[in-house]
Amino acid sequence: MDELVPGGNLPLPGGALTLGVPGPFDVSALVTDDSGKVRGDGDFVFYNQPAAPGARLSGQTLTVDPAALRAGASRVTVVVSPAEPGTPLGQLPAPTLQVTGSGGRLLARFTPSRPQRETVLLLAEIYRRGTAWKLRALGQGYADGLAGIARDFGVEVAEDTDTGPGQGTGAAAAPRTTGAGARAGADPHTDGFLALVNSARAAVSSRPVVLDGRLTAAARAHAADMAARGRLGSEGADGLSVHQRVTAAGYAYLTVGEHLVSGPRDAAEFVEYCLSGERTRQTVQDPAFTEAGVACVPDNRSGTLYWTALWAAPLTPAGLARTAAEVLALTNAERAAAGLPPLAEDPLLTRAAQAHSADMVARAFYSHTAPDGSEPWDRAAAAGSTRRTIGENIACGQRSPAEVVRGWMDSPGHRANILKPAFTHLGVGFAGGGSAGTYWTQLFGA
């Protein structure tokens, strides 16, 4: 049995899975394709609609058979909310997800960080990678109930306004699905966002972006946190950075950008603000971005709207290889300018460098010395390298190969590694996530 942490993954065996959350909670599920959006109302499984192909809800227990999901489905997101509508999760015991395989064996357990004002959590997701299925722990919180999550996943929601036994009012009431598919205008404040953004991108010949449900979910969670605190910030009261919310929502990225803004009253004002400054305009128009998510949440005390827009390109093996190759090419250009021979790519050093970048994200540290005490030469040896001389550069927060290599060249110690005549080979690693958003590693060898 595996005890999972946020972002942790687990390969799943074949057959049906049983997912339960003991305690005063309701369990729901959203069935989506690779876009992160539902195809129709039938993809939302909750207490008023307890079954869909391959997914069935019985009380607090959700049964999922990945092989029986509807055609095109590649993800099932498991949601937990208080059984008593409107109750903040912070007033209840921390929910614990238990996942059991078809043979009755307990496969995994996951308890997220204790929620505070949130009224609903994206607890975990079952997702397809190639032909295999995996489980990923999430722990992503929302402050506006099931209705907010449903909207972000593309379900058009009508709120109940009458109260009755077991019902709340407004956003705490049970959502009733009334339409199908992904609807960018689910929040009237964000109506027109995509058209305005893509018009600005077309002006500089950047290809249009599309909305992604996972980015929108992360944007809504971060905007809700800022609204609850009444101030802007890249890190929430729960300690999660905006980038950690993205990865916790199940989105792995190659590059990422964000806008955190308060005040605009609609999408037109928000996009106008984002285009008003050079750096913020560059983010909107950056040709590297292919997907986006946006949300705004009001501060209930002042009425001020807090906005989060997220921009990203998804991580792919080919994209990661291109990024590493660009870092190598830029590094060799600096060596050539200094009259030095180029470095050759080394697959073993690359493996070690990639592992270190991923480890810095997973274990939330930034150092040449890992929490287990291992050093760059230890990691190179563990990857199978026999090179006798090892050097390492690391960096965090840079959004492109050009930016990270420029930063290293501006630092005397890092520059010395890049221009060291004795080095002959290089491995490059990159990982997105963590508090800084991006983590880079160069591992040199001779």
The model's pLDDT over 39-72, given as tens digits with 9 standing for 90+, comes to 887 888 887 788 889 999 887 789 999 999 998 8
pLDDT at 6 over 90: no
Residues 6+ apart with CB under 8 A from 231: none
User: Cα(322)–Cα(326) distance, rounded to whole angstroms?
Assistant: 6
How confident is the model over 225-235, as a mean pLDDT?
91
pLDDT at 314 over 70: yes
157-to-84, 154, 160, 180, 418 alpha-carbon distances in Å: 20, 9, 10, 10, 55
User: Cα(141)–Cα(217) distance, rounded to whole angstroms?
Assistant: 9
What's the predicted TM-score (pTM) here? Answer: 0.61
pLDDT at 145: 65
pLDDT at 163 over 60: no
pLDDT at 370: 92
How confident is the model over 240-260, as a mean pLDDT?
91
The model's pLDDT over 372-392, given as tens digits with 9 standing for 90+, comes to 999 999 999 999 999 999 999
Confidence of residue 148 (pLDDT cuts 50, 70, 90): low
How confident is the model over 161-189, as a mean pLDDT?
38
How confident is the model over 310-320, as a mean pLDDT?
93
pLDDT at 82: 84
pLDDT at 262 over 90: yes
pLDDT at 356 over 90: yes
Alpha-carbon radius of gyration of the chain: 23
Instruction: Please state, as a whole number, how many other Cβ atoms lie within 10 Å of the Cβ of residue 56.
Output: 17
Residues 6+ apart with CB under 8 A from 71: none
Average pLDDT, rounded, for the chain: 86
The model's pLDDT over 282-302, given as tens digits with 9 standing for 90+, comes to 999 999 999 999 999 999 899
Q: Note whether 284 and 200 are within 8 A (CB).
A: yes
pLDDT at 324 over 70: yes
How confident is the model over 421-433, as a mean pLDDT?
95
pLDDT at 175 over 80: no
DSSP letters along 221-254, please?
HHHHHHHHHTS--SB-TTS-BHHHHHHHTT--EE
Q: Which two tokens stand for residue 399?
A: 């959004």
pLDDT at 289: 96
User: Cα(151)–Cα(187) distance, rounded to whole angstroms?
Assistant: 8
Q: Which two tokens stand for residue 329?
A: 């090419």
Confidence of residue 181 (pLDDT cuts 50, 70, 90): very low
pLDDT at 183: 36
pLDDT at 166 over 50: no
pLDDT at 180 over 50: no
Confidence of residue 143 (pLDDT cuts 50, 70, 90): low
Instruction: Please state, as a whole number, how many other Cβ atoms lie within 10 Å of the Cβ of residue 40.
Output: 15
Instruction: Please state, as a whole number, how many other Cβ atoms lie within 10 Å of the Cβ of residue 414.
Output: 20
Task: Match 């697959």 to its residue by tokens.
Answer: 347
Confidence of residue 164 (pLDDT cuts 50, 70, 90): very low
Element (H, E) at 393: strand 390-396
Confidence of residue 144 (pLDDT cuts 50, 70, 90): low
Q: Note whether 193 and 294 are within 8 A (CB).
A: yes
Q: E strands, 321-424, where?
A: 344-345, 390-396
Lowest mean pLDDT among 35-44, 97-106, 208-217, 414-423: 35-44
| 173 vs 46, higher pLDDT | 46
Confidence of residue 237 (pLDDT cuts 50, 70, 90): confident
